[in-house]
Chain A
Amino acid sequence: MGTAPPSILNAAQVRERCGVTAIVLRGHFVGVVAESREAAHGAAALLVIDWTVGGAATSAAPESALVSRRTVARRGDAAAALSEATLRIGRTYAWPEDAECRGIVVAEVRDMAASIWLATGMPARLRGDLAVLLGMPLECIELLAHAFVGATDTLATYHAAADAALLSQSAGRPVQVELSRAATRLADDPPPRLVTTIDGGLDETGVLNAYAMVIEGVSRAPAPLALLLSGARSLPMDENPSAHADELLDAPLLPYDVEHLEVTRVSNPSGFSAADPSVADFAHVFAVESHCDEAAAAMACDPVTWRLQQPIDARGAALIRRTSKHAAWIARPASVSAPTTPGGIRSGRGFAYARSVDGRLGSTERSWAAWVAEVAVDTRNGDVTVTRVVVGHDAEHPALASDRASSARIAAPQRHPQAVEVITRLTTEQRFDAPARIPIASPLIEVLGELEIARSGVPERMAAATFDAAPMPLFGGGAAMLPAAAAIANAIFDATGIRLREPPFSADRVRRALEESRAPRAARERNWLAKALAGIAGVLALIVPWRAPIAPVAPPDPGYFSAAAIERGRLVSAAGDCAVCHTLPNGARYAGGLDIETPFGTIVSTNITPDVATGIGGWSYAAFERALRSGIHRDGTHLYPAFPYTAYAKVTDGDLLALYAYLMSQPAVRATPRRTRLAFPFNVRPLLAAWNLMFHRSGVFTPDPAQSSGWNRGAYLVDGLGHCGGCHSPRNAFGAERGGRDYLAGGSVDGWDAPALNGIATSPVAWTREALYDYLRTGYSATHGAAAGPMAAVVHELGALPDDDLRAIATYLTASNRVVAASATVSSAMRERQSVTLPTLDALGARIYGGACAVCHEPDQGPPTYGIKVALTSISTLHARTPTNLLLVLLQGVSNPPTAQLGYMPGFHDTLDDAQLAHLANYLRARFAPEKPPWRDVGASAAALRSRVPAP
């Protein structure tokens, strides 16, 4: 951490936002306390923070010092034994972080009393850290158990507790903090993966006698980020009560008593937190037991038989026998897999075993678990269905020991919620807020050795802790689940011959692995464009004309430009939509910072306010004109053509000068948006010189004397200032707009489909000049629907333009359409469409429509409501080639209509899942656009779009 704290440049403005209670700045810790989560997130996004005041923040210690390599267990001479092994199997396994896990904490800190409500945690350590953070004695800190819905993650809860405590102390009122696992990392850190490399040596009898294991990616005991950032002293490592967590994976966990053993741990600061030992346990067992399965397969031996031949303790061996017997496991070599059914389903079975020490209670009690999992893999789409699971569990627990009979009891087959959850997480790309899709068709989960034991015998240590109401930790429940991942992975291997060495085993990954195994030599798809560009980079360096920087000038004095010029510039700016890209939602106008997604990476819009240091205050008109006409920054570097200089080149000198006058007269905002960083070779800006040679045509717009003045004005606005083609024309592989027949033929922007404007309009009723004018003026056309998405912002900007300009645009675009504008056609076409016999409609979609949509959208029914009753019969969105725009509107709703009179629509992001959206979309398509073919894979599109759309 650097010593100079950051400063917030716009704290006063953000504090004025409604809902904002306090902005907290403690050292490098910046937080917003607000009346609602939405208000807090909104305000936090607006903060402009200068992190570099007084010198860059630098790490106190070089990275390498923080990476440590340590041998945590050693027996015999693993290296020597490995070199003499008959068969050596070296494999690497990975375990990803579940970034969606989250923790919720409420803290109330007043004077010298802190009350913290949280769901789980490591109470002893947390109290110590909070005491340091808040500068209070330990006894003033009270931890209270509370079951928050969805709070599942220990580490996220831990960080959230520290954040909440610090915010509450600063704001002087109770604060709730909700953190996802991903948010507990520093922004630059990649999501951690725990990578385990195992080198195992087997002797001539197939017995594992040498084992070298390297575990990478565990971070040493972390301090809460709030503790580090606020500058409160962190505890020295050896005083830290959780230092023992780092030792958790020591030798006892390896379930086989191998003669020569060496376990090495490589820790790094961005790795998995050792504060979350259960994750490490799962990863460890997954690696060890997958490796065993690979060893057994290499020996052409049955995996259960093979394990029983290994040096293993008697109690574990007994559990393995009992579990496999109950599962009716019949020994056969692992390499023989079951035949594929005609439907493409392959079934398989897998075994895994774990021996663990319940470290969390500080005890040395051991626990054994064995899993038999049976799966069915659909080879067509990669779906993995876990059809049956048998879990055996045994533990050295007083309650269990006194009741050995019960551990031998075989429980009736049941749905075991914990097992269901574990299996679901392993076989799906889990999303926290999506309802869990249970991939278990008819789950038959049989648990041997009842887990209720854990509930009956609460250990005294737990009862004595402040946290006596805390849920039970790993023992019982957790330990029994450890072999789950390996058992399922081994079963997938048994079914398909595919070895998955990193969970989750989602349909997507299984399908990809299946495809790769079918075509092992198929050339991998490469980005040919990237290669081609990289290849010619050297050549271009020679021929590119060097563009000189233009020296900065003092900004023109206020009053230098006439009011008329500034007013004309305002209209030019509105027609050019400058603010749409150069303004963040709710941010300072023209201060930039908006992410613009392109196929080449994310480009961040710049600050075009007249601030000298961070904006264009130092730009002379010559520099400004060069940027707009040629795409060259004042300093001589090339701008990316996401900035539509290709269109602005057509703008007249008068308009450009007026725009300069207008922008230079706006309030200067000091704000430095993030730098655009594209991947190689797109980050080599001089390459754009070649791009410009190929695709950029300079030259101001020249009117066509054969056309009317309205037509010419429209063409100027559409092709020049309005740069309509930026979104509505398709782009080629180099990101250049296509012309000719593809001019305005439809493109895409921010995930939305921008419909074609060139006469191949997909709406059932062709656009008339009047309809288009209505749409541009009000954001709504009765015959085509309402503007939404990025177009809503455009209509909002166009609001500044006079009617004549909008009529001109409508004239030009409808003239290019070569379509007769006749209102009679409109109504007759609509009547005709309503009389179309309905095809078979999606029944579930119809019910969803009836409940969620009909009140506002059902034609001729229901009472008049606020806003416009958008008739679905003719809206273009339902006639489009893809369901993209429909799904985006359904997910996000319309919270910012171009005009308030249009009304609002709620988003269904949180109420309809992907399948329901698909049913609804299919129903709408079939009912309102019956002559169009049904959309395909709507559910998949919904899932993809959902991840792009923030929850409301």
Chain B
Amino acid sequence: MRTPPPIELTVNGDRHTLRVAHDTPLLYVLRNDLEFNGPKFGCGLGQCGACAVLIGDRAVRSCMIPVGAALHQPVTTLEGLGSAARPGFVQQAFIDEQAAQCGYCLSGMIIATHALLIRNATPTEREIREELRFNLCRCGTHVEILNAVRRAARVLRAAGVPEGTP
């Protein structure tokens, strides 16, 4: 098998040269080729939000976007927002509020929260709910998740974006 021509994809600040078909869903490349397993495969139809990643500063459902459409802007996954040792401020807010049951949706929730706060550091309650409206959680952790988003917004207002956070 001849491999396809190389493409360059920037993920979490690192440049990767890959030989994958341009029409491969971005999620598959992130999880299978680059081993970023933060984004999850949920529905495969762009409906649940578990696979969300940032392309530029937009939360995008990576199961539906071919990798070829993500070459011109940097991609950020959950891993790009922080680590277990140094969680990002949104991640820390989710930990502080214990906003997880099974956790499958959380990568998408955190990415969506980031996208919101990048755009709007002082979101209203309605704006928060609107932003997360189409990220599905099956466990019913919505109350805690909303608390976490409010907390993250408070942290952001109080301290500005911590150093090193996208």
Q: Are B65 and A22 in contact (CB under 8 A)?
A: no
Rounded to whole Å, the gap between the CB of B146 and the closest CB of chain A is 15
Partner of B61, one of A21, A852, A865, A908: A865
- Please tell me if A904 contacts chain B, counting CB pairs below 8 Å: yes
- Please tell me if A172 contacts chain B, counting CB pairs below 8 Å: no
Q: Are B2 and A863 in contact (CB under 8 A)?
A: no
Chain B residue nearest to A863 (CB atoms) is B131
Q: Which one of B55, B64, B130 has the greatest number of beta carbons of chain A within 10 Å? A: B64
B residues near A908, Cβ cutoff 8 Å: 45
Chain A residue nearest to B5 (CB atoms) is A18
Binding site for A on B (CB under 8 A): 1-4, 19-21, 23, 44-47, 49, 55, 58-61, 64-66, 68-69, 112, 115-116, 130-131, 133-134
Q: Are B23 and A895 in contact (CB under 8 A)?
A: yes
A residues near B116, Cβ cutoff 8 Å: 863
B residues near A636, Cβ cutoff 8 Å: none
Q: Are A855 and B130 in contact (CB under 8 A)?
A: no
5 interchain pairs, CB-CB under 8 A? A15-B2, A16-B2, A855-B134, A866-B64, A906-B45
Q: Are A904 and B66 in contact (CB under 8 A)?
A: yes
Q: Are B55 and A855 in contact (CB under 8 A)?
A: no
Partner of A862, one of B58, B65, B130: B130
A residues near B44, Cβ cutoff 8 Å: 906
Interface residue tally for chain A (C-beta within 8 Å): 26
Rounded to whole Å, the gap between the CB of A298 and the closest CB of chain B is 57
B residues near A15, Cβ cutoff 8 Å: 1-2
Q: Are B23 and A22 in contact (CB under 8 A)?
A: no
B residues near A20, Cβ cutoff 8 Å: 1-2
* Contact flag A852-B45 (CB < 8 Å), given A21-B1, A866-B55, A904-B66: yes
B residues near A866, Cβ cutoff 8 Å: 55, 58, 60-61, 64-65, 69
- Please tell me if A854 contacts chain B, counting CB pairs below 8 Å: yes
Q: Are A900 and B69 in contact (CB under 8 A)?
A: yes
Q: Are A852 and B47 in contact (CB under 8 A)?
A: yes
The 8 A CB mask of A864-890 against B (1 = contact, 0 = none) is 111000000000000000000000000
Binding site for B on A (CB under 8 A): 15-22, 851-852, 854-856, 861-866, 895, 900, 904-906, 908, 911
CA distance A889 to B45 in the complex (A): 14
* Contact flag A855-B47 (CB < 8 Å), given A20-B1, A863-B115, A864-B58: yes
CA distance A140 to B137 in the complex (A): 51
> 3 closest pairs, A vs B, by CB?
A855-B134, A18-B4, A18-B21
Q: Are B21 and A19 in contact (CB under 8 A)?
A: yes
B residues near A900, Cβ cutoff 8 Å: 68-69
CA distance A906 to B55 in the complex (A): 19
Partner of B1, one of A22, A865, A905: A22
Rounded to whole Å, the gap between the CB of B52 and the closest CB of chain A is 9
Q: Are B1 and A904 in contact (CB under 8 A)?
A: no
Chain A residue nearest to B3 (CB atoms) is A18
CA distance A591 to B2 in the complex (A): 23
CA distance A855 to B69 in the complex (A): 20
Known: A863-B59, A865-B58. 14 other contacts (CB 8 A): A18-B1, A18-B20, A855-B47, A855-B61, A863-B131, A865-B59, A866-B55, A866-B60, A866-B64, A866-B65, A904-B64, A905-B64, A906-B44, A906-B46
Q: Are A904 and B65 in contact (CB under 8 A)?
A: yes
CA distance A248 to B58 in the complex (A): 66
A residues near B2, Cβ cutoff 8 Å: 15-17, 20
Q: Are A911 and B131 in contact (CB under 8 A)?
A: no
CA distance A900 to B68 in the complex (A): 9
* Contact flag A865-B60 (CB < 8 Å), given A856-B46, A895-B23: yes
CA distance A346 to B68 in the complex (A): 59
Rounded to whole Å, the gap between the CB of A900 and the closest CB of chain B is 5
B residues near A862, Cβ cutoff 8 Å: 130-131, 133-134
A residues near B3, Cβ cutoff 8 Å: 18
Rounded to whole Å, the gap between the CB of B21 and the closest CB of chain A is 4
